[in-house]
């Protein structure tokens, strides 16, 4: 049995690791992971890569070495089509930065295919956004922002050194979800460390950060009390928070709102929503929803083809909310983790001729970290109300624990303990900020 997993994000890598250990090592299946990149970073940490507080080169997981250690195979490739009758997927030609072909277009056969290709930012068709804004969907995009941020700070420090001109750097972030909120706080931490590491002319008043949210409040996944507390904390840091503000156009150096207000910017980040990649709309005739997600059965097999599974942000899975209304499973890291666990069980059940299980989403709460300043969140399972609001050190510990759980799923107990110890050591021997 050949199992092909497309996408090495949180869900895809966890699934490949699990199946590699339980089937691949025992010779019961050939497990292949495909991804367009060579390394993995947990997507909720991309805002830290963007600010420079996390070094992607040092903290990333290399797919090839990880595959060798865990009983599966890795190949680099970009999915561009599927032939469901022949049970093959089509991979685009792989080229380098100079356009030279590394690998030609290829096909890869499968017995069972798992699509875990994640999501991309949704610009909602707003004019100029794709041309002028930076997205944070990948390591490459996060590195691009970090490089531009560093260059802007260096230039600003030079200008302030030459004159007393009241120059500032203005960063505008669109989207009041976790990514936008967390990046806003990380930028102020980055300014502090840039000043520590030699850019001494850049003081707090020289960084302006504007956060724009179309809805009435930040962090709609959290309750109003926590949302309000985060709003207040960001303003105390110096963030200009603008809710109920809709962007209708992006220009080279500004964002224009529905009310005609212009937000001048040196850097613009778009983090206002996600959707599955557009090519899924015409992917083998499979059904999708408005967010391009593949519609799946409760077993997470795509509707119309029992040999294809989908999980994570690209899977359109219906669940019932607390009010009894049907809604989509949210595109979150914990959703991908839970889906990967179920798909792994169901593929092992297929191999053992056992019935398949159905997916039930469990909401374990939401957490948001404002860099090293503070953290807020809601944990499910409170004694009386079913949920527990947390903030400060407790919330920060819970936030870090989510990442450790992901590391545990891909590395196991021993390696995760060693990685945790290494992280603690590196806090003392590495610079606090990536400076190159």
Rounded to an integer, what distance in angstroms lies between the CA atom of residue 423 and that of residue 420?
Answer: 5
Domain of 403 in residue numbering reads as 366-429
**Does one domain contain both 143 and 254?**
yes
Question: Cα–Cα distance between 347 and 299 in angstroms, integer?
Answer: 10
SS3 82: strand
Are residue 284 and residue 157 in the same domain, yes or no?
no
Q: How far is CA 368 from the centre of its chain?
A: 14
Are residue 94 and residue 183 in the same domain, yes or no? Answer: no
Q: CB neighbours of 88 closer than 8 A, spacing ≥ 6?
A: 82, 107, 108, 109, 110
In a domain, 435, yes or no: no
Assign 3-class secondary structure to 287-348. Answer: CECCCCCEEECCCCEECCCCCEEECHHHEECEEECCCCCEEECCCCHHHHHHHHHHHHHHHH
Assess whether 134 and 262 both reside in one domain.
Answer: yes
| Single residue among 270, 303, 338 that ends a domain in this structure | 270
Note whether 356 and 349 are within 8 A (CB): yes
Tokens in use for 292?
């391009």
Q: Which pair of tokens denotes residue 396?
A: 């920060």
Closest CA to 135 of 122, 151, 149: 122
Is 377 domain-assigned? yes
Closest CA to 3 of 108, 115, 85, 114: 114
Residue 69 lies in a domain: yes
pLDDT at 167: 86
CA distance 47 to 185: 10
Do 12 and 66 lie in one domain? The reply is yes
* Closest to 46 (Cα-Cα) out of 179, 175, 221: 179
Which one of 324, 345, 360 terminates a domain?
Answer: 360
Same domain, 198 and 266: yes
**pLDDT per residue over 371-403, tens digit each?**
888 888 888 654 444 567 788 888 888 888 889
* Domain-embedded: residue 434: no
- Looking at the structure, tell me whether residues 68 and 133 fall in a common domain: no
pLDDT at 172: 98
What is the rounded distance in angstroms from the CA atom of residue 417 to the CA atom of residue 436?
29
Asked which of 228, 250, 270 is the last residue of a domain, the reply is 270
Q: Are 405 and 326 within one domain?
A: no
Q: Is residue 91 in some structural domain?
A: yes
What Rg value do the Cα atoms of the chain yield, rounded?
22
Exposure string over 386-424, b if 16+ CB within 10 A, otherwise e:
eebbbbeeebbebbeebeeebbbbbbeeeebeebeeebe
CATH of the domain at 27: 3.50.50.60
pLDDT at 381: 56
Q: Could you tell me if 112 and 238 lie in one domain? A: no
Residue 40 sits at the vertex; the CA angle it makes with 35 and 44, to the nearest 5 degrees, is 115
Identify whether residues 172 and 60 lie together within a single domain.
no
C-alpha distances in angstroms, 350 versus 259, 307, 337, 410?
56, 10, 20, 23
Domain total in the chain: 3
Q: Does 10 share its domain with 78?
A: yes
Question: Per-residue pLDDT tens for 74-83?
Answer: 999 999 999 9
In a domain, 155, yes or no: yes
Q: Let me know whether 187 and 163 are in one domain.
A: yes
pLDDT tens string, the chain, 436 residues long: the values are 999 999 999 999 999 999 999 999 999 999 999 999 999 999 999 999 999 998 888 789 999 999 999 999 999 999 999 999 999 999 999 988 888 999 999 999 999 999 999 999 999 999 999 999 999 999 999 999 999 999 999 999 998 888 766 789 999 999 999 999 999 999 999 999 998 888 888 888 899 999 999 999 999 878 888 899 999 999 999 999 999 999 999 999 999 999 999 999 999 999 998 999 999 998 989 999 999 999 999 999 999 999 999 999 999 999 987 777 888 999 989 999 999 999 999 999 999 999 999 999 988 888 888 988 888 888 865 444 456 778 888 888 888 888 999 999 999 999 999 989 988 888 788 888 887 7
265: in domain? yes
For residue 250, is it within any domain? yes
Distances (CA, A) of 150 to 44, 194, 311, 388: 21, 9, 36, 39
Strand partners, 212: 174, 242
């Amino acid at each position: 049995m050949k199992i092909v997993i497309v996408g090495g994000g949180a869900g895809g890598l966890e699934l490949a690791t699990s199946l590699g250990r339980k089937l691949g090592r025992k010779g019961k299946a050939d497990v292949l992971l495909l991804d367009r990149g060579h390394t993995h970073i947990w997507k909720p940490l991309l805002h830290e890569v963007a600010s420079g507080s996390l070094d992607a080169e040092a903290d990333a997981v290399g797919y090839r070495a990880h595959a060798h250690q865990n009983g599966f195979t890795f190949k680099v490739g970009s999915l561009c089509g599927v032939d469901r009758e022949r049970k093959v997927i089509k991979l685009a030609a792989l080229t380098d930065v100079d356009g030279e072909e590394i690998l030609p277009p290829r096909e890869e056969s499968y017995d069972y295919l798992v699509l875990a290709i994640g999501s991309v930012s949704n610009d909602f068709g707003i004019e100029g956004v794709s041309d002028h804004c930076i997205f944070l969907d990948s390591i490459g995009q996060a590195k691009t922002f970090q490089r531009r941020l560093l260059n802007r700070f260096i230039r600003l420090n030079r200008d302030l050194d030459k004159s007393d001109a009241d120059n500032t750097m203005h960063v505008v972030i669109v989207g009041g979800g976790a990514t936008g909120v967390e990046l806003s706080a990380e930028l102020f931490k980055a300014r502090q460390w840039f000043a520590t590491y030699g850019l001494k002319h850049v003081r707090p008043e020289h960084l302006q950060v504007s956060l724009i949210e179309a809805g009435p409040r930040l962090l709609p996944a959290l309750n109003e009390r926590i949302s309000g507390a985060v709003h207040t904390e960001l303003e105390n840091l110096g963030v200009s928070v603008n809710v109920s503000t809709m962007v209708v156009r992006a220009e080279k150096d500004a964002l224009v709102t529905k009310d005609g207000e212009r937000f001048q910017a040196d850097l613009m980040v778009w983090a206002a929503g996600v959707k599955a990649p557009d090519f899924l709309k015409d992917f083998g005739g499979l059904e999708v929803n408005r967010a391009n997600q593949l519609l799946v059965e409760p077993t997470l097999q795509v509707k119309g083809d029992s040999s294809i599974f989908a999980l994570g942000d690209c899977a359109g899975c219906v669940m019932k909310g607390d009010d009894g209304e049907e809604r989509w499973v949210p595109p979150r890291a914990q959703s991908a983790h839970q889906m990967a666990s179920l798909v792994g069980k169901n593929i092992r059940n297929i191999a053992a001729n056992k019935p398949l299980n159905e997916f039930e989403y469990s909401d374990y709460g939401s957490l948001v970290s404002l860099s090293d300043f503070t953290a807020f969140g809601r944990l499910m399972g409170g004694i009386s109300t079913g949920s527990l609001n947390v903030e400060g050190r407790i919330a920060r510990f819970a936030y870090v624990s989510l990442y450790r759980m992901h590391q545990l799923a891909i590395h196991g107990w021993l390696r995760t303990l060693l990685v945790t110890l290494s992280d603690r050591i590196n806090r003392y021997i590495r610079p606090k900020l990536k400076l190159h």
